[in-house]
Amino acid sequence: MENKPFLLKPAAKDYLWGGNRLNDDFAKGIDMYPLAETWECSTHEDGPSIVASGEFEGMFLPELLRKHPEFLGEHCLQNPYLKDGELPILIKLIDAKKDLSVQVHPSDEYARKNENALFGKTEMWYVLDALKESKLIYGFYHDIERDTLKKSLENGTVEKYLQKVDVHKDDVFFIEAGTVHAIGAGTLIAEIQENSNLTYRMYDYNRIDKNGKTRELHLKKALDVVELKKSRQPRQPVRLLRYKKGQALELLGRCKYFQVERMLLNTEICRELAELSVDGSSFQVLLCIGGCGLMLYGANGSMQFFKGDCIFVPANSVPVKIHGNAQLLRVSC
């Protein structure tokens, strides 16, 4: 059997802070409001993706990967913490119409010891769009004592300690496990993270959910894992474009969990299609964040893709070429 690329259909989440831009801007066609997140490439039990094209259309992604673990590639197959059918990462689109809660995520070690989970949550954000006044929370302005933080969370004064950062379209932010953070209102984000849904909510502005209740906080666990030292003001990484025929690539971020590149595709300026480099080391995920194109693979396979589409390219895939004018995020492990 040949390893061929295929489209994914996302799981959707209706968290109270969401809007409708994922439908309006990305044509998701999901009957849900608010539509806060789409889990574009996910094997997590809380929202697995579904194969949306090819011979495995209709299968849940983890079911397919259990059947064909070779799609993952050597790096994943050597990971002792991965269960059958699991990816080490999760890729989301996030529409923050309102402020998200102030939260923190645990490390792998804490998750394995205290949550019976294999992964904590380190994540990276790529800002697709933001309002002029949009901000995010990233760490603390100064070192803070645990007791001081605890009291400020209990009496609702924690905001004065939280470092607020301006957000602009095309920004990149890397959020390590333990960093207190929150996405601000008016921000549209692509998030690449570890395969985890562990979030410890610290502060939620006393908001009421659709059932008329305040949302649960997780103060004890949050205080166990949060980094109390001052956070440096996040700086945008130096980004260099590498040009190939019909495309340019820039590295947005790399850590031990994932690598994320932005691909600028424009085969209108050359007579040859752009080639996608694939090998046996890792699967790749292509998330189209602008424009559209055509993917050609193998002897006669083809697939159109549009803004908002997510394509899974198995390790050791048949040869892949791309034609069009588009921006894509390329994620590998």
Percentage of residues in the chain with pLDDT exceeding 90? 95
pLDDT of amino acid 268 = 87
Residue 153 has pLDDT above 80, yes or no: yes
Instruction: Say how far apart CA 251 and CA 263 lie, in whole Å.
Output: 9
What's the mean pLDDT in 210-239? 93
The owner of tokens 């050609």 is: 296
Residue 119 has pLDDT above 80, yes or no: yes
At 156, list the tokens. 């609702």
Higher pLDDT, 287 or 213: 287
Q: Is 239 a catalytic residue?
A: no
DSSP state of 299: T
Residue 269 has pLDDT above 90, yes or no: no
Report the Cα 190 to chain-centroid distance in Å. Answer: 5
Instruction: Say how far apart CA 251 and CA 42 lie, in whole Å.
Output: 22
What's the mean pLDDT in 82-110? 97
Q: Please provide the distance, in angstroms rounded to a whole number, between the alpha carbons at the two ends of the chain.
A: 23
What's the mean pLDDT in 74-87? 95
pLDDT of amino acid 238 = 87
Indicate the pTM of the whole model.
Answer: 0.97
DSSP states along 65-127:
HHH-GGGT-HHHHT-TTPPTT--SEEEEEEEESSPPPEEE---HHHHHHHSS-S----EEEEE
Question: Where residue 41 falls among pLDDT bands split at 50, 70, 90?
Answer: very high
Question: Mind listing the pLDDT tens digit for each residue in 187-207?
Answer: 999 999 999 999 999 999 999
Residue 1 has pLDDT above 90, yes or no: no
Question: Mind listing the pLDDT tens digit for each residue in 2-33?
Answer: 999 999 999 999 999 999 999 999 999 999 99
Looking at every residue in the chain, the average pLDDT score rounds to 96
pLDDT of amino acid 212 = 87
pLDDT of amino acid 290 = 98
Partners of 182 in the β-ladder: 137
Alpha helices in the chain (DSSP H): 21-24, 61-67, 74-77, 108-114, 146-155, 219-225
Contact 121, 198 (CB under 8 A): yes
Residue type, 151: K
Active-site pick, 21, 66, 146, 201: 201
